[in-house]
Structure 1
Amino acid sequence: MTRKIINLAIGKPKEYNWNNRKEVSGIGKSAVQAFKVEKLGIVDDDVANHKFHGGPDRVVCMYPFEHYSYWEEEFQRKLILPAFGENITAAGMTEEQVCIGDIFKIGDTILQVTQGRVPCVTISNYNEEKGFLKKVIDTTLTGYFFRVLEEGTIMLDSEITLLEKHEKEISVSFATQILFHQKQDKASIEKILTVDALAEEWRNRFLKLL
Structure 2
Amino acid sequence: MNGKAHLVACIESLRIGRVEPLGGDGTLSAIDKREVWAPLRVTRTGLAGDEHGNTRHHGGPEKALHHYPWDHYRVWREEQPHLAPRLTQAGAFGENVSTLGITEADVCVGDVYRMGTALVQLSQGRQPCRNLNLRFDEPRMVALVLESLRAGWYYRVLEEGWVRLGDPIVLMERPHPQWSVHRVLQVLFGRRIDRIALAALAELPELSPRWRERARGRCDEPVSLSAPAADPARG
Query: Structure 1 runs of 4+ off > 3 angstroms?
Result: none
Q: Who is 1:158 aligned against?
A: 167
CA distance in 2, matches of 1:173, 1:150: 26
Q: Who is 1:11 aligned against?
A: 17
CA RMSD of aligned residues (A): 1.6
Question: Which amino acid is 2:61 matched to?
Answer: P
Range 102-111 or range 184-193, more displaced? 184-193
For the residue of structure 1 that corresponds to 2:145, the secondary structure is helix
Pairwise CA distance, 1:104:
0.4
Question: Which amino acid is 2:56 matched to?
Answer: K
CA distance in 2, matches of 1:125, 1:107: 33
**Is 1:60 aligned to 2:65, yes or no?**
yes
Question: Which amino acid is 2:156 matched to?
Answer: R
**Where does 1:1-210 land on structure 2 (aligned, <5 Å)?**
3-16=9-22, 18=23, 20-33=24-37, 34-76=39-81, 77-78=84-85, 79=87, 80-167=89-176, 169-182=178-191, 184-210=193-219
Pairwise CA distance, 1:183:
5.8
Gaps of 5+ in 1: none
Pairwise CA distance, 1:129:
2.7
Could you tell me whether the CA contact under 8 Å between 1:124 and 1:130 is conserved in 2? yes
CA distance in 2, matches of 1:86, 1:129: 18
TM-score, with length taken from structure 2? 0.84
CA distance in 2, matches of 1:55, 1:189: 25
For the residue of structure 2 that corresponds to 1:141, the secondary structure is coil
Could you tell me whether the CA contact under 8 Å between 2:202 and 2:213 is conserved in 1? no
Could you tell me whether the CA contact under 8 Å between 2:47 and 2:64 is conserved in 1? yes
Gaps of 5+ in 2: 1-6, 220-235
For the residue of structure 2 that corresponds to 1:57, the secondary structure is helix
For the residue of structure 2 that corresponds to 1:135, the secondary structure is helix
CA distance in 1, matches of 2:161, 2:18: 20
* C-alpha distance 129-109 of structure 1, shift in aligned 2 (>3 A): same
Could you tell me whether the CA contact under 8 Å between 1:109 and 1:150 is conserved in 2? yes
Pairwise CA distance, 1:75:
2.1
CA distance in 1, matches of 2:202, 2:101: 26
Q: Residue deviations 1:38-58, cap 9 Å, x none?
A: 012321002111111111110
TM-score, with length taken from structure 1? 0.93
Q: Residue deviations 1:110-168, cap 9 Å, x none?
A: 00000000001211211223332221111110000000001011111101100001235
